[in-house]
Amino acid sequence: MDEIKKLQLPPVVPEIKLPQQAAEERPFESWEFRSGGAVFDFKQGRILLNKQDLSKHISENLTHLAASYWTQLSRRLENYRQWALKHVVDPEQLAVFAAMVHAMLTKIGGRLKKKFDEKIDGIAFQLEEGQLLLNGINVNAFIAMARRHPTPKARIFLKGVKTRLGVMLSNRLGNPNYEKIRTIVEELFSQIDQELLRPPTEVIYLPPKSSA
């Protein structure tokens, strides 16, 4: 009996619970981009320049800062857009971001008295080094992103871009500037068709039901 009393029970190890990640939580994506001494960011639906609201900065300073300043800012803002299209994979946020950049560049372009784009049925387009921009969205880069990440959300945005390209192909108003890029529009329209034929990722296929 004395030997039984001397036995010691092992210590109780408390249960460790791992934190559960919400199913809808998105992975964090950094939008910070540095160009020279400027730091760009995109937070809560606003584009920031050195932590200041860029849209407000443009509105308050557009008429009295030198043209050379706005030329440099336009170049850096365009570089930021190109960087985001290559590094950010959320098409919904990219669409919002690209539209904001487009609006800002258009506003600055007016100050510099440079024609930024042409319009067909309300669709703004621009051709830059073989890359087609529709309402500020680089169609070539967007197709490439959708090819790397063929998610259901990317397919939705591809369909929207395809609709806009279809409007341009009709060229109902006979815009002569559009005829110069018709071949490019036709090629991009065809590329989107090919991408839409691919099955999207993030689809869970359930196993067949058991016969038992």
Domain map (residue ranges) of the chain = 30-116, 118-201
Q: How much is the pLDDT for 31? A: 93
As beta bridge partners, residue 41 has 48
146 close to 155: Cβ distance less than 8 angstroms: yes
Give the pLDDT of residue 167: 84
pLDDT recorded at residue 109 = 83
Q: What is the pTM of this model?
A: 0.48
Six-digit token pair at 96? 């919002």
Q: In a structure prediction context, what are the per-residue pLDDT tens digits for the chain, which is 212 residues long?
A: 555 555 555 555 556 555 554 444 445 578 999 988 899 999 999 999 999 999 999 999 987 787 778 889 999 999 999 999 888 888 889 999 999 999 999 888 877 754 344 566 667 777 776 788 887 788 998 899 888 888 888 888 899 999 989 888 886 556 666 777 888 999 999 999 999 988 776 554 455 555 54
Asked if 59 contacts 49 with a C-beta cutoff of 8 angstroms, the reply is: no
> What pLDDT, on a 0 to 100 scale, did the predictor assign at position 22?
44
Long-range contacts of 201-204 (CB under 8 A, 24+ apart): 201/149, 201/150, 201/151, 202/151, 202/152, 203/152
Query: What was the pLDDT predicted at 152?
Result: 86
